[in-house]
């Protein structure tokens, strides 16, 4: 690992930890993503995390708030720009939507049910994003 990569890992660690502390499992390699997707049954919430301000101030807080109301079967995250191969592998499972980070995917048995791209996060109040995601999760988890 070069000095830049090491520096960036240290910078993003609190951004990673925020979701891990909320119960998310980080998937950092393509193998981890493929293994998860091969075995994920039920409803999965996938957060494509990033270093941008809308991830820090909107996406991560909204996700933490929403899962306080409705918790799906699985909580996983990949980190765009950091774990590139893992992120590309995850995105390949819902390649019908353009790459976007941060973004939030709701899957059922590994199949995309709902996707919230960056443009539905950036510029929106955290409460609106929380309510949107909580509504999606409630509907998905009640099926």
3-class secondary structure for 22-56? CCCEECCCHHHHHHHHHHCCCEEEEEEECCCHHHH
What pLDDT is attached to residue 10? 85
The answer to whether the predicted template modeling score (pTM) of the entire model surpasses 0.75 is: yes
Backbone torsions φ then ψ of 112, nearest 5 degrees: -65, 125
> Is the peptide bond preceding residue 74 cis, with omega within 30 degrees of 0?
no
Q: Is 112 exposed, middle or buried (0-12, 13-18, 19+ CB in 10 A)?
A: middle
What pLDDT is attached to residue 97? 95
Catalytically annotated residues: 52, 54
Residue range 24-142, CATH number: 3.40.30.10
Tell me the mean pLDDT in the region 118-127.
96
What pLDDT is attached to residue 107? 97
Residues facing residue 111 across a β-bridge: 108
- Give the residue, 143 or 37, on which the prediction is more confident: 37
Tell me the mean pLDDT in the region 103-110.
96
């Amino acid at each position: 690992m070069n000095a830049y990569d090491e520096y960036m890992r240290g910078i993003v660690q609190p951004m990673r930890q925020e979701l891990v502390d909320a119960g998310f499992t980080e998937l950092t390699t393509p193998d981890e993503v493929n293994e998860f997707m091969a075995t994920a049954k039920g409803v999965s919430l996938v957060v494509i995390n990033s270093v941008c301000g809308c991830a820090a101030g909107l996406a991560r807080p909204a996700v933490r708030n929403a899962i306080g109301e409705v918790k799906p079967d699985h909580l996983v995250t990949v980190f765009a720009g950091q774990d590139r191969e893992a992120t590309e592998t995850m995105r390949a499972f819902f390649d019908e939507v353009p790459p976007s980070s941060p973004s939030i995917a709701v899957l059922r048995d590994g199949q995309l049910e709902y996707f919230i791209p960056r443009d539905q996060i950036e510029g929106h109040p955290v409460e609106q994003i929380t309510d949107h995601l909580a509504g999606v999760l409630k509907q998905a988890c009640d099926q």
